[in-house]
Structure 1
Amino acid sequence: MPTYVFRCRQACDDVEQVHSMLTVPDDVECPVCSERARRIVTAARLGVGDSAAMRAHDATRATADAPTVVSSVPGSPRRSTPVTTNPLHRRLPRP
């Protein structure tokens, strides 16, 4: 059954309730202020579950919205040979 979101006029927190599509009401009572909360249109909530695929999808979406900050290129190998200080080596072509 789908989850519906209701919002009252007094700007209380949104009320989420599960109703069948056949019996969904247009408004419900707000649990905070007891006013009538009207149903609002929201995005569909299709991803409900705790599978490995859903966790991977959520992690991918999270990095798209708020990427982590890195201090170096991931997986970059450490330089195995030291950098030379010989001034004659500066004229050599670089790869």
Structure 2
Amino acid sequence: MTDLRAQLRRLIVPILDLRPGQDLDAAWTAAEAQVRAGYGGLILFGGSLPELPERLAALRALGPHGPPLIAADVERGVAQQVVGG
């Protein structure tokens, strides 16, 4: 059963909410825990362009099954989610 749970966890992509008003330290800490636990990726909401590449690279290095997928909802352009994008 544990193996099935691990496989199913890889299909889940929780939110990484970096929008204004959020506790950013808590968001990054939660994201690190989710990636280490084997979740398949994260969907990014918010953040600032200067910090994202380095922080996301660090997250991608934590994936136990390889780098997690990093996704964003950008139908109106990257600036919809990322400040300075």
TM-score clears 0.5: no
Structure with higher RCO (Cα < 8 A, 6+ apart): 2
Give TM-score scaled by structure 1 length.
0.21
Structure number with bigger Rg: 1
The structure that is helix-richer by fraction is: 2
Give TM-score scaled by structure 2 length.
0.23
